[in-house]
């Protein structure tokens, strides 16, 4: 739909509605003027009945809903779905919008139907010698009558969001919807967490049992690695459950310390290093937890894409700033889901994440406000 | 293993878990030790109660979340049996809210399933052989985690001696160890502990430790 034509169809509709209403008003007025006594009273009664029916229809709950469905394509405005149909706030807005469209449509129609014949009349009379000045004026009036229609259309586009936009009850309903979605996501996360957690535990217990036989060489080493991997994964799942519950009813639990960061870095193959400046353990628990995820993700990326050991620098000065650097060979494509997830996580705490890849050095810098 | 007159030196263990891999794994770990005997296994709470009645284990290694009857209710009913065994609750997750309920139901301690074979063996032996509270540090964390949700509970007036006993008991000492710390007889400690439990209105040492942490007496 072009910008100029936005609202044209609605103006026509409004004008048609207004014409119908105007015709009815005229018919009733005419009849009332021509009758007297009992007949007149009956016609007045009928007029009142028609008015009442119109009011009931306009104020009925589905009206605003239907209007939103109509306004969206005809005006090209973005209106959120109607959740609140029954409140009087919603019903009044629906009725007022209908009358407003009829009014604007009627005025637009009068302008169009009045100015075009007037312009044509001026041109014709000008050509017939009533004054040459009439010709350019007439030539101006005819296109102007059409151009003004665009302004009326714009008026509807501008005013409709105020009249048909969400009511207070709508906004409450959206919030409730959002909450329900989150709760649903929470339930799914928990179920996934439980099933994966139990499976990993079963694997871990089996490895424990096998290790009791003190297997030598690669078998023993493999079992130890299985155990350390399942334990780390279960630890993370534990943290996730803590976070999930934490968002529901529990202040977050302190879990991460500088020592945890050290063992995380030490657990990575190669000689990665950790430097901590400032008092990491004095940071709020959630900042430390996020910092842990940053270091973890940074190291994961470094091992996946890098060639040498990674350097992790954690600076605590008010906020926490974490920099992970390491050498990379070829620039590898894509940031990966891990970094995307991390960016999301940092966004949640108003932090930020930047990665650069310059002269063979990959650098990830995260800032976490306290 | 179905000996009519079991060797009194051997600790009889019942393993309860609905996951066969975990159940068999624990049974394998416990069964590998000379001084332990896995007298049976059960895959839900109802089975666990029946098996406890029949097999008379010294220690029940109990999963918390199970179909039919969960570990909390099973623990409660098992501990109501005459000559009840001690119950060690094992759990998949550190943040399992049911663990606290299981301890309140009378379990003597809890252990993460991934803690490792050594920890499991240590826990079972400690429960069977001593009266010490298991893993007091874990109980402290559990209480701290819940602290935000409930008001602090008040501790009744305790004598200085009872306070001392509670403090030592909460660090995981046995009666005998407490006795040697306080230079008194084991019987004296025993009566102090009994008085302590009665005053606190709790049924066992684990619950006394929970009360000590929840009241802020220990922190």
Residue A202 touches partner B, C-beta closer than 8 Å: yes
What DSSP assignment string belongs to A116-185?
HHHHHHHHHHHHTTS-TTHHHHHHHHHHHHHHHHHHHHHHHHHHHHHHHS--HHHHHHHHHHHHHHHHHH
Per-residue pLDDT at A321: 92
pLDDT in tens, B180-214: 888 988 888 889 998 888 888 888 888 888 888 88
pLDDT in tens, A206-243: 999 999 888 888 898 899 999 989 988 888 887 776 66
Nearest Cα of chain A lies from the Cα of B157 at a distance, in angstroms, of 31
Q: Please tell me whether residues B110 and B18 are part of one structural domain.
A: yes
Q: Is residue B42 part of a domain?
A: yes
Which residues of B are less than 8 Å from A231 in CB distance?
Answer: 114
Residue B114 touches partner A, C-beta closer than 8 Å: yes
Q: Please tell me whether residues B21 and B92 are part of one structural domain.
A: yes
Nearest Cα of chain A lies from the Cα of B162 at a distance, in angstroms, of 32
Which value does ipTM take for this structure?
0.72
Q: Please tell me whether residues B33 and B116 are part of one structural domain.
A: yes
**What is the number of CB-based contacts under 8 A between chain A and chain B?**
69
Q: Which residue of A has its CA nearest to B24?
A: A206
What whole-number distance in Å separates Cα of residue A68 and Cα of residue A74? 10
Q: Is residue B146 part of a domain?
A: no
- State the pLDDT confidence band at A95, using cuts at 50, 70 and 90: very high
CATH for B45:
3.40.50.2300
Per-residue pLDDT at A277: 92
Per-residue pLDDT at A244: 61
Lowest mean pLDDT among A302-306, A318-322, B203-207: A302-306
What whole-number distance in Å separates Cα of residue A162 and Cα of residue A157? 10
Q: Is residue B3 part of a domain?
A: no
Cβ distance A208 to B25 less than 8 Å, yes or no, reads yes
Query: Mean pLDDT score of chain A, rounded to an integer?
Result: 83
CATH for B201:
1.10.10.10
Which residues of A are less than 8 Å from B92 in CB distance?
Answer: 194, 197-198, 201, 234
- State the pLDDT confidence band at A253, using cuts at 50, 70 and 90: very low
Q: Could you list the residue range(s) of the whole structural domain that residue B181 is in?
A: 153-214
Nearest to A294, CA basis, from A251, A266, A265, A333: A265
Per-residue pLDDT at A248: 44
pLDDT in tens, A35-83: 888 889 999 999 999 999 999 999 998 899 999 998 988 888 888 888 8
CATH number of A258-368: 3.30.565.10
Q: Is residue B4 part of a domain?
A: no
Average pLDDT of A312-334? 80
Average pLDDT of A200-211? 91
Res B16 pLDDT > 90: yes
Q: Please tell me whether residues B19 and B119 are part of one structural domain.
A: yes
Please tell me the total count of domains within chain B.
Answer: 2
Nearest Cα of chain B lies from the Cα of A200 at a distance, in angstroms, of 9
Cβ distance B114 to A237 less than 8 Å, yes or no, reads no
Cβ distance A237 to B19 less than 8 Å, yes or no, reads no
Q: Please tell me whether residues B171 and B98 are part of one structural domain.
A: no
Res A337 pLDDT > 70: no
- State the pLDDT confidence band at A348, using cuts at 50, 70 and 90: low
Res A273 pLDDT > 50: yes
Cβ distance B95 to A206 less than 8 Å, yes or no, reads no
Q: Please tell me whether residues B113 and B171 are part of one structural domain.
A: no
Per-residue pLDDT at A179: 73
Query: What b/e string do you get for A167-180 counting C-beta neighbours within 10 Å, with b at 16 or more?
Result: bebbeebeeeeeee
| Closest Cβ–Cβ partner in B19, B24, B97 for A198 | B19
Per-residue pLDDT at A255: 61
Where helices occur in chain A by DSSP H, the ranges are 8-34, 37-58, 62-75, 88-127, 134-164, 168-211, 217-248, 258-266, 285-305, 336-348
- State the pLDDT confidence band at A252, using cuts at 50, 70 and 90: very low
Q: What percent of chain B has pLDDT over 90?
A: 32
**B96 or A318, higher pLDDT:** A318
Nearest Cα of chain B lies from the Cα of A201 at a distance, in angstroms, of 6
Lowest mean pLDDT among A102-116, A202-216, B95-109, B128-142: B128-142
Per-residue pLDDT at A246: 47
Cβ distance B25 to A205 less than 8 Å, yes or no, reads yes
Residue ending a domain, among B97, B129, B161, is B129
Average pLDDT of B11-29? 93
Cβ distance B21 to A241 less than 8 Å, yes or no, reads no
Q: Please tell me whether residues B80 and B170 are part of one structural domain.
A: no
Q: Is residue B138 part of a domain?
A: no
Per-residue pLDDT at B1: 47
């Amino acid at each position: 739909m072009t910008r100029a034509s936005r609202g044209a169809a609605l103006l026509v509709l409004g004008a048609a509605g207004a014409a119908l209403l105007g015709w009815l008003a005229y018919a009733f007025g005419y009849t009332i003027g021509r009758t007297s006594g009992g007949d007149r009273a009956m016609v007045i009664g009928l007029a009142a009945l028609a008015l009442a029916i119109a009011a009931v229809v306009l104020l009925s709950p589905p009206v605003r809903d239907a209007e939103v469905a109509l306004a969206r394509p005809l005006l090209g405005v973005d209106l959120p779905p109607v959740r609140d149909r029954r409140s009087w706030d919603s019903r009044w807005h629906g009725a007022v919008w209908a009358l407003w469209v009829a009014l604007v449509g009627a005025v637009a129609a009068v302008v169009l139907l009045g100015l075009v014949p007037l312009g044509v009349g001026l041109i014709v009379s000008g050509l017939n010698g009533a004054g040459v000045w009439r010709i350019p004026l007439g030539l101006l009036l005819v296109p102007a009558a059409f151009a003004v229609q665009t302004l009326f259309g714009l008026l509807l586009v501008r005013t409709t969001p105020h009249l048909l936009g969400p009511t207070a009850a709508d906004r409450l309903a959206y919030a409730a919807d959002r909450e329900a979605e989150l709760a649903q996501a929470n339930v799914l996360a928990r179920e996934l967490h439980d099933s994966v957690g139990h499976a990993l535990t079963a694997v871990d217990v089996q490895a424990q049992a096998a290790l009791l036989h003190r297997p030598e060489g690669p078998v023993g080493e493999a079992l130890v690695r299985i155990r350390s991997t399942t334990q780390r994964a279960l630890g993370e799942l534990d943290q996730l459950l803590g976070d999930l519950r934490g968002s529901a009813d529990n202040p977050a639990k302190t879990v991460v310390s500088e020592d945890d960061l050290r063992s995380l870095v030490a657990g990575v193959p190669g000689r990665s290093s950790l430097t901590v400046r400032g008092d990491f353990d004095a940071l709020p628990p959630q900042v430390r937890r996020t910092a842990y995820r940053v270091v973890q993700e940074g190291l994961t990326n470094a091992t996946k894409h890098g060639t040498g050991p990674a350097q992790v620098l954690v600076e605590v000065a008010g906020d926490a700033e974490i920099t992970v650097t390491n050498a990379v060979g070829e620039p590898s494509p894509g940031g990966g889901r891990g970094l995307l997830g991390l960016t999301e996580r940092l966004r949640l705490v108003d932090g930020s994440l930047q990665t650069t890849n310059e002269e063979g050095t990959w650098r990830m810098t995260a800032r976490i406000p306290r | 293993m179905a000996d009519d007159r079991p060797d009194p030196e051997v600790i009889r263990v019942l393993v309860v878990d609905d996951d066969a891999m975990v159940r068999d794994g624990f049974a394998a770990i416990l069964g590998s030790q000379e001084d332990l005997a896995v007298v049976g296994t059960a895959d839900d709470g109802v089975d666990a109660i029946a098996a406890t009645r029949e097999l008379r284990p010294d220690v029940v290694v109990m999963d918390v979340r199970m179909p039919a009857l969960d570990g909390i209710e099973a623990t409660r009913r098992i501990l109501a049996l005459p000559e009840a065994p001690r119950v060690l609750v094992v759990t998949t997750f550190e943040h399992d809210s049911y663990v606290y309920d299981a301890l309140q139901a009378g379990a003597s301690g809890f252990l993460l399933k991934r803690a490792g074979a050594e920890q499991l063996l240590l826990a079972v032996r400690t429960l069977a052989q001593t009266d010490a509270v298991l893993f007091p540090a874990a109980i402290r964390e559990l209480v701290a985690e819940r602290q935000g949700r409930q008001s602090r509970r008040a501790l009744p007036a305790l004598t200085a001696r009872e306070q001392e006993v509670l403090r030592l008991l909460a660090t995981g000492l046995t009666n005998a160890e407490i006795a040697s710390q306080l230079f008194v007889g084991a019987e004296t400690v025993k009566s102090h502990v009994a008085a302590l439990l009665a005053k606190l209105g709790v049924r066992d040492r684990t619950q006394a430790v929970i009360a000590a942490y929840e009241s802020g007496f220990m922190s």
